[in-house]
Structure 1
Amino acid sequence: MKFQPTINKIRSILSYKVFTLLIFVLLGLLLYGVLYSNVKPEKYDVNVFETSDVTIRSPKTITDGVLTEKKREEAAEEVPNQYTRQPDVVENRVSLINSIFEIIKEVKKPAAEDGQDGDSQAEGSAEEPTTEQKLDTLKAELTKNVNVRDSITQSIPDNVFKTLLTLTDEELNRVNTVVKSQVETTMSDKIYEEDLYTVYERLDTRLRALNLPSPMIDAAVALSRLAITPTEIFDKELTDEKKQEAMEKVSDEQIIEGEVIVQQGQMITHEDYRQLELLGLLSTETPIKPFIGLGIFVILAIGAIYYHFNNWDLPEERKQNRLILLSLIFVISLILMKIIALMKELDLDRVGFLFPAAMAGMLIRIMLNERIAMLMVMILAACGSIVFHYEITGSIDIEMAIYIMFSGLAGVLFLSSRKNRTNILQAGLFVSLVNVLIILFLLFLRGVSYSNMEYTYFVVYGFVSGIGAAVLTIGFLPFFEAGFGILTAMKLVELSNPNHPLLKKLLTEAPGTYHHSVMVANLAETACEAIGANGLLARVGCYYHDVGKTVRPRYFIENQMNAGNPHDHLPPDRSRDIIISHATDGAEMLRKYKLPKEFIDIAEQHHGTTLLKYFYYKALKEDEDIDEASYRYPGPKPRTKEAAVINIADSVEAAVRSMKNPNTDEIRKLVDNIVKDRLQDGQFNECDITLKELDTVKKTFCETLNGIFHSRIEYPEAKEKELAHES
């Protein structure tokens, strides 16, 4: 199947740049379309209190702000109120009690108690104040102190004051002592506002257990309750600070990627519904970020391929052919990914390990080059991490990315020799081994326990992936070689087989030409490798470059075998036509046998437009007005380095073979003259070979020819006969 005619038709409609841009756009759209379903978030049409038909997992790791705030509030509520102890509170309250009793004593004291004699007599005759008057005086004295006014006049009933005003000083002192003792004892412990009622009850119980008259007990109770106050004051600022610290210690509550939100068969609660809504898994909304992320990835992947091809030093037509080939291999790999990903429906764990990750890298390594093969392996690894996400849509699987990358790189690196298809199978075995090691590395690193049977499955997956990649590579290779006309090293090795019909025809009908072609092949391969050209292409191309001579083999000197030269009996123009026709006849024969275009180019270009000097000068003797151009090969001139080297090697081999016992200097001069003649004749004007490379070619030819035509030891005649007899 040939793709070239279809591609050429499209090129005839579009320019090269537009056609290339179209390829990249289509490749990007195709990549986006293939991965679209893998990043599209799954949506669920569920309601609260319904039973879920499927197990719903979180597709990403996300912070649950509502749950986090709830946890922080709970942590803050668990922080107890913070209190600060009042300094000198016991001493102050005891001083208050002492002050009250001192004022009471002052109010009870007679008015003339401290006066002079005259005054005493006058006061003695005055009336004693009543209890009510003393009570008013007492309240007036107590209210002078604003700080304690409210806590005294409002907290202590009037009957208590009246009782205290009727007591003697001794009884007042006794009550004072009891109250101060109870206050000091009670307030030695921590007392909180909310505990006052309990403290009062205990205090009452203790006081009423004393052996005191009931009025004195009531007074002691009232004064003690007045004096008892909280020793620990609520500190709002400190409490808020502690609550804030507790809230800050609570880490963000996260919904982890892969976490089960709703189990199959489980009823959906309000909390489940809220989390599904937070994750964007409800059918009520469609997030756009995953699709933007996929678009960025596609741009990066296509951009990397574009950058490589844009800087590839090849003609536009060849670059486009290779771009189409690369795109086709890429698409096939993506399709295989999708097919294998669908196998997860069979409940096969880690089925992605079956993917023949090395196939794309091996195919591109054989048909294009190692650099683009590694680039494609990395892009496929990224794609695989998206496709093989298993149950979590929109996520990536780093393990699969590592597996595909190492497997693909192993295929590229182990395929060091590309000359035999058996090398592909060998590389496949090495890839299988690498696959198994990578799988075991990933499984052991996760620390998950598997059964022996599961480990066996995983090992089989790795081997099937490696061998499958090799088999698919071998299967696709002829298809791509024929479809895109790409001449791989393996194809060249196959075409170098002497059993090929054209080579058999050349060997049997023109054995001298066959030997000449082999010698030219040796020279051309060595020289091409020395200048960085394709030595294998030059060698095999040389095998076929003179097949046109099989049409009239005896008209070429290497096939005449001392049978006489038929050109001696032909006019120069007839000889010219016969000699020149071998290039065009060879090209037609190669086309007939569907050999690669590179061989056809070599057959047409290996003489370029050089002049048939022998027959031209022969014709010139007969007609001085003869046109030189009519005795030149039709060309075209060599357009590749390989064709240029073969052009020189063909002439050099024929010229050296005509020399008798050539030495090193003669060979060097001959090679120099031939190269100089080709340069002066402009035969290399259409190819990119440099003068420095031509100098390397000359040196290589001389070294090779000196090895072939080296000096031999001359044996005595008797010795020669003896050797001949032994042989």
Structure 2
Amino acid sequence: MKSYRFLHIILYTLLSIVIFFTLYTNVRPETLDVKLLEISDQTIYAPNTYEDEVATVSKREEAYDNVQDVYTLRKEYSDNQVKLVTSIFDSILDVKEGKITKSDEEGDEGEKEASESLSLDEQVEVLKENLTPEIAEKISEEALKNLLTASVEDVELSKDAVVTAVNKVMNEEIPVEQLNKAKDNMAEDLQVSSLPTAVLNAATEIGRFAIIPNYIYDREATLEKRKQAADSVQPVQIKQGTIIVEENELISREVYRKLELVGLLKDKEPYKPFVGLAIMILLILGALVSYFERQDRPFEGKNKSLLLYCLIFAITIALMKIISLFQQIDYTHTGYIVPASMGAILVKLLLNERLAILTSIIFAICGSVIFNEGITGTFNFPVGIYYLIGCLAGILFLGKHNLRSKILQAGLFVALINIIVITSLLLIQNSTATNFEIGSYFVMAGVSGLSASVLTIGFMPFFETGFNILSTMKLIELSNPNHPLLRKILTEAPGTYHHSVMVANLSEAACEAIGANGLLARVGAYYHDIGKTKRPRYFIENQMHIDNPHDKLSPQLSKNIIINHATDGAEMLRKHKMPKEFIDIAEQHHGTSLLKFFYYKAKEKGDQLTEEEFRYPGPKPQTKEIAVISIADSVEAAVRSMANPSPEKIVKLVKSIISDRLQDGQLDQCDLTLKELDIVATTLCETLKGIFHSRIEYPEITKQKVKQA
């Protein structure tokens, strides 16, 4: 199944289905079987915030209707009425002074009669002809006669008095309902003048006529103000957690309408929450796909990693869902006991730290939805924050320390962080929880952290064995010198053991420098020459105070013994069920390189042979780590054989070996670049210079050498 090309698509689909059905019941709005005009048997709260459009429209209409009419003071009316009064008095003066005569109605040839020859009635008639019909109708003839018979000085004085009074009164607001009062005020102002009674009465009549309403209803301003009042009304909202109807209260039509609005009636199945959940799942899958599909690995590697991730995710989500069922016992804080950090720690240890951080965010989102029982919203944000910080704490605490003892310490650290987070949340929310409740929260937080570490330790062997995972923890355990195979090398081939340790140091430094897995290179190098334990004395590093057996063997036989250590080592590792990566290192660390010493020795004897007979069976190194171990293996052996290794000689030797490997095609099947090879060469040289540095001789040793000489 690991090599099935479309398995990852199936896994993504299954993962989305698991998330959907796990969260389905938690996002599905609660529906109630209530009927109109019945008594409610429970207190019903609004599950979310909704806009009440009907109430909003009603409130806006009310605001529109409550706006009073807008009136505007028309100041230009004052000027117009002053001009009107002035024109009336000017017409009177003109008639009195003969500037206006009787109209020639018989024709142009008739002469105009002088005003002095006109009678009073005729003057009134002439005056009315020069005034507008409205003025002539409103002002009595008696008033006109009084002014026409008065002296010019009195008319002038009355004119000024009326103009002043009209101007004063008209500059104030005069609504229609206060018109008579304004006219009375104008008449009172004229009473202070010293005009004759007849003239004063006539002037008062003209002044009262001139006073008109100047505080006028403004239709456009009124409409604009009403519109602004309606627009300023905020939408009426039924806030989340608002009580719609209390227990034993009648479900009126208004209450029933609100229940229908918030989607609590059974006859109305909402679809928006499910669409929103589907979109959220797509976003989660998008993040996971962007991680897994960008990895430059074959389908087998992707499928294995994704399958492992899906199992860890499903186990963690299942734990959340099972524990959430206990919310039904009216205890809404059971989410604090969920060991959510277990999933994040497992992902960190078995897969990748970046993926573990992403998983922490996903767990926080899912947990805040799963544990939403007893709250008025869909998301229980305190629980989400609690899970997120707890998961991140476990990931960051482990760092590069992946020993099993560190997992337990990480659980204790997560428990401490959980308690701190709960304390923070309680203080932020200004909670009134009792001491018993706070104590129970702290106990659950501690249990959550400890159970996460225990479950992690329990699940690790199953995942490592079932998926054949070479985790960092497993590598560290395999690097233990007390491992049976390492003990075998140390006791049966001590020279090979020391050589392997040196190669491990060189390989780890070089791999770390180019971004490869340094720990894998180190531990793999410990086992790369395990095959030499089958015939240890045939390898020069183990020949202490004995003759070289190869001196008595033919080159072909010696070649077979040397070459077989690679295949023998791979077979021994398979027998002990060691990781495949170690088996590949043992098989490939010599590639198909040529055993030059025995090849040329055979050529000197005149044997008819080919280079292929004296080459390792391979295959060539397939990964960066194996290629680096291959180079480090040759470099360490070559430098050890040098009499006086100086820094210059070491640099020259390292570059020569790498160049020889390139020309021989031994690095063709791994993805090492020339730039990375240059970094490897530099790192190997620096490490070797530190190992083979020059030392001063102690005086006793110097004296002993002189004495011997």
2:25 aligned partner: 37
In 2, Cα distance between the equivalents of 1:49 and 1:242?
A: 40
2:436 aligned partner: 453
Please state how far the C-alpha of 1:611 moved relative to its aligned partner: 1.0
Per-residue CA shift, 1:599-623, capped at 9, x if unaligned?
1111111111111112222333445
User: Is 1:361 aligned to residue 361 of structure 2?
Assistant: no
Out of 553, 556, 569, the position equivalent to 2:552 is 569
Out of 291, 296, 299, the position equivalent to 2:279 is 296
SS at match of 2:244: strand
User: Is 1:27 aligned to residue 10 of structure 2?
Assistant: no
In 1, Cα distance between the equivalents of 2:352 and 2:15?
A: 20
SS at match of 1:673: helix
In 2, Cα distance between the equivalents of 1:681 and 1:398?
A: 62
Please tell me the residue identity of whatever aligns with 1:64.
D
SS at match of 1:356: coil
In 2, Cα distance between the equivalents of 1:402 and 1:292?
A: 24
2:448 aligned partner: 465
Please state how far the C-alpha of 1:236 moved relative to its aligned partner: 12
Please state how far the C-alpha of 1:546 moved relative to its aligned partner: 1.0
In 1, Cα distance between the equivalents of 2:694 and 2:431?
A: 74
2:539 aligned partner: 556
Per-residue CA shift, 1:60-92, capped at 9, x if unaligned?
11122334455566778888999999xxxxxxx
Indicate conservation of the 8 Å contact 1:381/1:405, yes or no.
yes
Out of 268, 293, 300, the position equivalent to 1:285 is 268
In 2, Cα distance between the equivalents of 1:707 and 1:718?
A: 23
Please state how far the C-alpha of 1:362 moved relative to its aligned partner: 2.2
User: Is 1:437 aligned to residue 425 of structure 2?
Assistant: no
Q: What pairs up with 1:222-301 in 2 under 5 angstroms?
A: 251-263=234-246, 268-301=251-284
1:611 aligned partner: 594
Per-residue CA shift, 1:405-453, capped at 9, x if unaligned?
2222222223222342233333333333333333233222222322222
Change (3 A) 1:82 1:613: closer
Please tell me the residue identity of whatever aligns with 1:517.
S
Change (3 A) 1:343 1:84: same
Aligned length: 575
In 2, Cα distance between the equivalents of 1:709 and 1:603?
A: 27
SS at match of 1:335: helix
Q: What pairs up with 1:195-594 in 2 under 5 angstroms?
A: 251-263=234-246, 268-391=251-374, 395-594=378-577
Please state how far the C-alpha of 1:541 moved relative to its aligned partner: 0.7
Q: What pairs up with 1:130-145 in 2 under 5 angstroms?
A: none
In 2, Cα distance between the equivalents of 1:281 and 1:698?
A: 72
Per-residue CA shift, 1:698-718, capped at 9, x if unaligned?
222222222222223334567
1:645 aligned partner: 628
Please state how far the C-alpha of 1:494 moved relative to its aligned partner: 0.6
Indicate conservation of the 8 Å contact 2:313/2:343, yes or no.
yes
SS at match of 2:30: coil
1:665 aligned partner: 648
1:675 aligned partner: 658
Indicate conservation of the 8 Å contact 1:661/1:709, yes or no.
no
Indicate conservation of the 8 Å contact 1:42/1:393, yes or no.
no
Per-residue CA shift, 1:372-395, capped at 9, x if unaligned?
222222222222222222235872
1:91 aligned partner: none
Higher deviation after alignment, 608-617 or 560-569: 560-569
SS at match of 2:594: coil
Indicate conservation of the 8 Å contact 2:349/2:402, yes or no.
no
In 1, Cα distance between the equivalents of 2:519 and 2:275?
A: 48
Indicate conservation of the 8 Å contact 1:386/1:394, yes or no.
no
Q: What pairs up with 1:60-71 in 2 under 5 angstroms?
A: 60-69=48-57
Please state how far the C-alpha of 1:654 moved relative to its aligned partner: 1.6
Indicate conservation of the 8 Å contact 1:81/1:234, yes or no.
no
Please tell me the residue identity of whatever aligns with 1:463.
G
Please state how far the C-alpha of 1:670 moved relative to its aligned partner: 2.1
Indicate conservation of the 8 Å contact 1:492/1:540, yes or no.
yes
Indicate conservation of the 8 Å contact 1:480/1:486, yes or no.
yes
In 1, Cα distance between the equivalents of 2:341 and 2:534?
A: 47
Change (3 A) 1:344 1:611: same
In 1, Cα distance between the equivalents of 2:576 and 2:43?
A: 62
User: Is 1:596 aligned to residue 579 of structure 2?
Assistant: yes
Change (3 A) 1:52 1:576: farther
The alignment's TM-score, normalised by the length of structure 1, stands at 0.72
Please list every run of 5 or more consecutive structure 2 residues that lacks an aligned counterpart in the other structure. Answer: 74-174, 178-212
In 2, Cα distance between the equivalents of 1:657 and 1:358?
A: 49
Indicate conservation of the 8 Å contact 2:538/2:550, yes or no.
yes
Out of 21, 40, 48, the position equivalent to 2:36 is 48
Change (3 A) 1:84 1:508: closer
Indicate conservation of the 8 Å contact 2:240/2:376, yes or no.
no
In 2, Cα distance between the equivalents of 1:520 and 1:279?
A: 71
User: Is 1:620 aligned to residue 603 of structure 2?
Assistant: yes
The alignment's TM-score, normalised by the length of structure 2, stands at 0.73
In 2, Cα distance between the equivalents of 1:352 and 1:57?
A: 22
SS at match of 1:575: helix
In 2, Cα distance between the equivalents of 1:489 and 1:356?
A: 23
Please tell me the residue identity of whatever aligns with 2:404.
R
SS at match of 1:261: strand
Please tell me the residue identity of whatever aligns with 2:267.
T
Change (3 A) 1:83 1:332: same
SS at match of 1:314: coil
2:86 aligned partner: none
Cα RMSD of the aligned pairs, angstroms, is 3.5
In 1, Cα distance between the equivalents of 2:433 and 2:233?
A: 36
In 2, Cα distance between the equivalents of 1:587 and 1:394?
A: 60
In 1, Cα distance between the equivalents of 2:302 and 2:572?
A: 28
In 2, Cα distance between the equivalents of 1:84 and 1:376?
A: 68
Change (3 A) 1:56 1:483: farther
Please list every run of 5 or more consecutive structure 1 residues that lacks an aligned counterpart in the other structure. Answer: 1-6, 86-189, 193-230, 723-727
SS at match of 2:419: helix
Change (3 A) 1:82 1:629: closer
In 1, Cα distance between the equivalents of 2:582 and 2:644?
A: 33
Per-residue CA shift, 1:261-285, capped at 9, x if unaligned?
3455655444333222222222212
Higher deviation after alignment, 66-75 or 466-475: 66-75
In 1, Cα distance between the equivalents of 2:31 and 2:698?
A: 95
Change (3 A) 1:275 1:635: same
